[in-house]
Amino acid sequence: MHILRSAESRGYADHGWLRSYHSFSFANYYDPAHMGFGPLRVINEDRVAPGHGFGKHAHSDMEIISYVLDGELAHEDTLGNGSILGQGKVQRMSAGSGVQHSEFNHSKHNEVHFLQIWITPDARGLAPSYEEAHFSDEEKRGKLRLIASPEGRDGAVLIHQDARLFATLLDGTERIEHSLAAGRQAYVHIVKGSAVINGEYLSGGDALKVNQEAAIVLENGEDAEILLFDLPE
């Protein structure tokens, strides 16, 4: 079966310098029907004004993935990492036993638009760690590109959970079928554009929760960018 989570039904916060949509309960947005999906806990779609950002703050026991859509995101943390992330860049920070970091819009003129994703790890108190990778549009065009996995295979960033995150760009007659093994479920998030997922029409910000189905079929894309999470039930 599958359940549509429409973009309009997400939580929303406007802080002036930050506009954020919350797919799951986060900060002042609380909905007991949307606390997460399997180990997937947060998908925040953030737009940060030029010169603004999140000052140094602490995290623990969470796999945090940043997926940059437009602009440049500056990151610093207490592990000694500092970088500028642009479009196509994926950053993974395992907060583990505890880490502090900051995230700012690197530009003084342009907005930065990114997704922040949290996945609960399979163990507590892990040593904090950091990793980033770049995935080109060509790697994602018309196929699922693995960008995060517990094995870190094929250049994907490594996460401490039995979860796999894929990204794709889909347009026209391109069609993708992804099999779901027994005991697995999927969360499909439309980053932009539109596509038909298992017979349902979805557009930017929409998502589909899928379980007890054999496969995910992505087709009829119109300038679509899509994230697919393959998760344990």
Domain positions in the chain are 2-232
CA distances from 209 to 104, 123, 230 (A): 31, 25, 11
For the chain, what percentages of helix, strand and coil (3-state, to nearest 5) are there?
Answer: 5, 60, 35
Q: Could you read off the pLDDT tens digit of each residue along the chain, which spans 233 residues?
A: 999 999 999 999 999 999 999 999 999 999 999 999 999 999 999 999 999 999 888 999 999 999 999 999 999 988 888 889 999 999 999 999 999 989 999 999 999 999 999 999 999 999 999 999 999 999 999 999 999 999 999 999 999 999 999 999 999 999 999 999 999 999 999 999 999 999 999 999 999 999 999 999 999 999 999 999 999 99
Q: Nearest-5° angle of CA 70, CA 72, CA 77?
A: 130
Cα separation, 29 vs 145, in Å, equals 32
Tell me the two tokens of residue 16. Answer: 């002036």
Cα separation, 132 vs 86, in Å, equals 11
- The HSE-up count of residue 70 (CA atoms within 13 Å, CB side) is 13
Q: Are 178 and 214 in contact (CB under 8 A)?
A: no
Q: Are 145 and 90 in contact (CB under 8 A)?
A: no
| pTM score over 0.85 | yes
Q: Residue 38 burial (CB < 10 Å; 0-12/13-18/19+)? A: buried
The CATH homologous superfamily for domain 2-232 is Jelly Rolls (2.60.120.10)
Give φ, ψ of 154 to 5 degrees: 55, 30
